[in-house]
Chain A
């Protein structure tokens, strides 16, 4: 690593990774919501 975590570029990199993770977690949560909705509908249909 060329930039330590305490430097400006290190902090910016850290923030960028956290934003990307937040988006990924959001996408997973949305996907799980859709999945559980579909599962509930299928199960209520008697499958």
Chain B
């Protein structure tokens, strides 16, 4: 059970002693930036127009909902966060905030963002936002993360929902086009996280998180990264086929896809930490550039 025993280095924080920065850290701002960007892309690509104030509110709700998921995730994972180098300085394991404060903060933001989305935009977008939070917290964090190496494959859906939420904020429904945007991020997530897991496997093993490199080994993980990368590239062309964007985006997607495949192939071939770090860093840039191209082509009409 999460937090059942913080064990060796248990730190007892004082309630109300957390700094503003600690609350910001709970929101996982770096993850939030990618969520916001893909959410905005969905919102701007959707057919129809939204009043700028309503568009700002929709993006705010997506950002706050994502932040809420992060805060509740940090509440639940506080025991394993304390064991991993990458996460041990987070506000709860570092003893700067009580677990109850984090849970209260996350829950308040989750309820507030979903309610505001429903009242200001529409309830389809609000339901998708609620599904995203529930999926990240319930399905990924509480159910899959500690049980199966497929945790980030299925759990990755939570990170793929934002463009669908942005789209639904405008149209009030779910369409094939928004599902295509979902599918791109869904297929991008495994190679992205497994690249990180390749050079952080000792961390995950210490915390007992069954990431693929821990359970199936480094070689199998590299093979899986290559397979998912090969599936990802053709999927990135679906928005062209659906007429959401044109071949300007298609050309960018092909070039970026070739670079992604090259990085994944290097991970498989070289089997070095350097190549895994390179793929992880490039995968973030890749998604930003890919969705940037979607925006430029789809909204700019080039």
A residues touching B (Cβ–Cβ < 8 Å)?
A: 1, 5, 14, 17-18, 20-21, 24, 35, 38-39, 41-43, 47
B116 shortest CB reach to chain A, Å: 9
User: Any chain A CB within 8 A of the CB of B252?
Assistant: no
Answer yes or no: B17 CB below 8 A from chain A CBs: yes
B19 touches A20 (CB 8 A): yes
Q: Which residues in window 8-64 of B have CB below 8 A to A?
A: 14, 16-20, 23, 51, 53-54, 57, 60
Asked if B53 and A38 sit within 8 Å, CB to CB, the answer is yes
Q: Does B120 contact A (CB under 8 A)?
A: yes
List residues of chain A with CB within 8 A of the CB of B14. Answer: 5, 14
Residues in chain B near residue A35, CB distance under 8 A: 57, 60
B60 CB contacts on chain A under 8 angstroms:
35
| B53 neighbours in A (Cβ, 8 Å) | 38-39, 41-42
Known: A42-B54, A47-B54. A18 touches B16 (CB 8 A): yes
Q: How far is the CA of A43 from the CA of B50 in the complex (A)?
A: 12
Give chain A nearest CB distance to B60 CB in angstroms: 8
What residue of chain A has the Cβ atom nearest to residue B60's Cβ?
Answer: A35
Nearest B residue (CB) for A24: B20
Cβ-defined partner of A14 (8 Å) among B17, B51, B54: B17
Give the A-binding residues of B (Cβ under 8 A).
14, 16-20, 23, 51, 53-54, 57, 60, 95, 120
> B23: which A residues are within 8 A, CB to CB?
21, 24
- With contacts A39-B120, A42-B51, A47-B51 taken as known, whether A17 is within 8 angstroms of B18 at the C-beta atoms is yes
Beyond A14-B14, A35-B57, whether A21 also contacts B20 by CB under 8 A is: yes
A-B contact pairs, 27 of them (CB 8 A): A1-B95, A5-B14, A14-B14, A14-B16, A14-B17, A17-B17, A17-B18, A17-B19, A18-B16, A20-B19, A20-B20, A21-B18, A21-B19, A21-B20, A21-B23, A24-B20, A24-B23, A38-B53, A39-B53, A39-B54, A39-B57, A39-B120, A41-B53, A42-B51, A42-B53, A43-B120, A47-B51
Residues of A contacting B57 in the complex (Cβ-Cβ under 8 angstroms): 35, 39
A35 and B19 CA atoms in complex are apart in Å by 25
Q: With A and B bound together, what is the CA distance between A1 and B18 in angstroms?
A: 14
- Give the nearest-CB partner of B19 in chain A: A17
Contacts of B16 in A (CB 8 A): 14, 18
- In the complex, which residues of chain A have a beta carbon less than 8 angstroms from the beta carbon of B20? 17, 20-21, 24
**Distance A41 CA – B95 CA, assembled complex (angstroms):** 44
Contacts of A38 in B (CB 8 A): 53
Cβ-defined contact, A5 with B17, below 8 A: yes
* Contacts A21-B19, A21-B20, A39-B57 supplied; 16 other A-B pairs, CB < 8 Å: A5-B14, A14-B14, A14-B16, A14-B17, A17-B17, A17-B18, A17-B19, A18-B16, A20-B20, A24-B20, A24-B23, A39-B53, A39-B120, A42-B51, A42-B54, A47-B54
List residues of chain A with CB within 8 A of the CB of B95: 1
Residues of the B chain whose Cβ atoms lie less than 8 Å from the Cβ of A20: 19-20
Q: CA separation between A18 and B54, bound complex, in Å?
A: 33
A38 to B18, CA, bound (A): 32
Bound form: Cα–Cα A47–B49 in Å: 10
Chain A, residue nearest B94 (CB): A1
